[in-house]
Amino acid sequence: MGIAAEAHNVKILGSGTDYIVLGHGFGTDQSVWKHFVPYLVHDYRVVLYDNMGAGTTNPDYFDFERYSSLEGYASDLLAILEELQVESCIFVGHSVSGMIGAIASIARPDLFTKLIMVGASPRYLNDVDYYGGFEQEELNQLFDAMSANYKAWCYGFAPLAVGGDLESVAVQEFSRTLFNMRPDIGLMVSRTIFQSDMRHILSLVSVPCHIIQAKKDMAVPVVISEYLHQNIAANSIVEVIATDGHLPQLSSPDIVIPVLLQHIHLEIEARR
């Protein structure tokens, strides 16, 4: 396995010929897809990897300058695909990985047959005529809390993000992967994500996009799914699912997995 694949803990599962690549969001790692993978391995070759900065990666590899923008993560994704000699794939990106996949697809549209975005947002900060869900003061308070006591922040943030109580298995799992991040890296990654603004790239996306959004999500308002649908240049389709929380593949797999499988098999035209 190559340098990029080793650094990102790449795993390739399954016996199919077509590739599905699964990208995770902030505070998680590839284990967030554990309920979904068994439904894919009989028909696809499934590529799992960890974004740099996840607790499962070597913190010595985390370049604070490189990962001050989402482009660094997109470059990593392309490097992994190149090393694995993947010529075409379906990319399923949760949260920030939805935008990471979009950036990568602009650079190399030939590598992606479709993007499936789960709880993705091009901008989390409110703006004129745009509702991202957060005011700057709210984000500042979040960053301050992370800086002051990262572990205490994790305990408070995990149930809010997942949409459950501290005793739920999904909340405990998200808490575990959040704790695994080195606190200074966790803060840096959260700043990069929450302060990002990818609205300008949407008109450059030429790969068909399937936008999956939870009905209730503290990180991404449901109106964002329609914003993506209206502003992505390629053909896109939206499905709002009746789940609560930002990690529905972890907290509501019985609802999310059939939807994801449907969109993997559903074909929409490449361009409007």
The residues annotated as belonging to the active site are: 95, 217, 246
| 67 within 8 A of 188, measured Cβ to Cβ | yes
Contact between 246 and 217 (Cβ < 8 Å):
yes
Phi, psi of 53 (to 5 degrees): 105, -20
- Cβ distance 220 to 227 under 8 Å? no
How far apart (Å, rounded) are the C-alpha atoms in residues 87 and 267?
19
List of residues 6+ apart from 22 with CB closer than 8 A = 30, 33, 36, 37, 46, 47, 48, 49, 92, 94
In this structure, what token pair is assigned to residue 68? 């001050």
CA 203 to chain centre: 20
Euclidean distance between CA atoms 41 and 191, whole angstroms: 35
Residue 214 · residue 245 · CB < 8 Å: yes
Order of strands across the sheet that contains 236-244: 11-13, 45-48, 19-23, 89-94, 112-118, 209-216, 236-244
Residue indicated by tokens 């599905």: 20
Q: Are strands 89-94 and 209-216 parallel, antiparallel or unpaired?
A: unpaired
